[in-house]
Structure 1
């Protein structure tokens, strides 16, 4: 027996994805503030009233695009960390995947940064179901990252005198900073013949030297866990 309700839900999902596809092109090319719901409605061949039946606001449509990008990132992170054989390599994989996502999906990355730019009302962000799902996924990935650092400390591959939470936050901040680097800093590096990719590789080597255990007791010779 045909389930009419299920068919209607599938059709609604198909149409929603079609709208998101069209909106992506507009937002990626022109930016959030320049694009109107009239523009998107014209792109998909719907009246604005019909468009609002699928997405109540332009904000909601933009948040759906951010969620789509986050799902891609989360899938890449799961695969990268699952395929890494050791804890220290899982930590490296987390950062490598983040950099790869920024390179391969730069438009989604820009949307994620714009979401956190202060442009949107925090209450609207937190009330949106797509953003809530995004937060859960990012929280899961961060927890796996932090746990890999803790496990690396326990197996002796990462220094024992570091705090896992601090290292997880610091490395996340460094990755975000490099992926969203100011143009003037890029120009300074370029004046020395250093492009963004070389800078990122050099920073990774520095971080590896900073956190990797080189001593006998879970840290550099003579070190101990600080208060």
Structure 2
């Protein structure tokens, strides 16, 4: 391994370590309260070393958000490739979203946070990926309307926006209220999600066609 390649690997490893430390800090302290000092301490680095990789907390947040949205898009794209009706693809994508959020609760905070523009951060990659996710939702909806698995009495672009907003709202509710739901309302997050998914299926499926 050459010197340049070794340095590039070391840089990538260090940046991954910083981001993993930051995810832990953001999950426990929140996106607003967490500080660069907290992240440096968790990563066991001096602030000077950390600043050589990321100029600010916002840059760290952006890097994590880029990874989160990219991973989520890859899951959606894989789910959409399966040979099935548009409705089943859409439900599968929603299941993937839930599994992703349950496995990576810290990631969801960044996806939600970067839905709004930050004046100090260039979030172009995040917005581009989020738009690609929305377009994928719309494409699958249009397929479902064409193959007869979904109703055709709505506009695909309007329903795609409605579904994306609904999915984000449900994930936000589960992530922020999960413990409260279990302890005070005796509601299991998994059952809540299945109820949400069933309502999606019932609202979207074409009643003239038998659905699995």
Paired residue secondary structure (2:52): helix
Q: With structure 1 as the length reference, what TM-score do the two structures score?
A: 0.77
Aligned residues: 203
Q: Classify the secondary structure of the residue corresponding to 2:31.
A: coil
Question: 1:213: which partner in 2?
Answer: 206
Measured after TM superposition, the shift of residue 78 of structure 1 is 2.1
Correspondence list, 1:154-193, <5 A: 154-181=146-173
1:107: which partner in 2?
Answer: 106
Unaligned runs of 5+ in 2: none
1:44 aligns with 2:43: yes
Residue in structure 2 matching 1:204, options 179, 197, 200: 197
The C-alpha deviation readout for 1:50-109, integer Å capped at 9, x for no partner, is 211110011111221222222332222222222352222111112111122222222211
Q: CA deviation at 1:3?
A: 4.8
Q: CA deviation at 1:163?
A: 0.6
Distance of aligned partners of 1:202 and 1:24 in 2 relative to their CA distance in 1, 3 Å threshold? closer
Matched, 1:145 2:144: no
Structure 1 segments unaligned to the other structure (5+ residues)? 217-227
The answer to whether the Cα contact below 8 Å between 2:150 and 2:204 also exists between their aligned partners in 1 is yes
Taking a change above 3 Å as real, the CA distance of residues 211 and 60 of structure 1, as seen in their structure-2 partners, is: same
**Rg larger in structure:** 1
Given the superposition, is the C-alpha separation of residues 39 and 205 from structure 1 closer, same or farther in structure 2, using an over 3 Å criterion?
closer
Give the Cα separation in 2 of the matches to 1:103 and 1:21.
17
Q: Deviations over 1:173-204 (max 9, x none)?
A: 21112122275xx76xx75x654433332332
How many angstroms does 1:212 deviate by? 1.4
**Distance in 2 between the 1:48 and 1:112 partners?**
26
Counterpart contact for 1:84–1:93, Cα < 8 Å: no
- For the structure 1 residues 47 and 200, does the alpha-carbon distance in structure 2 shift closer, same or farther, using more than 3 Å as the test? closer
CA distance in 2 between partners of 1:204 and 1:39 (Å): 38
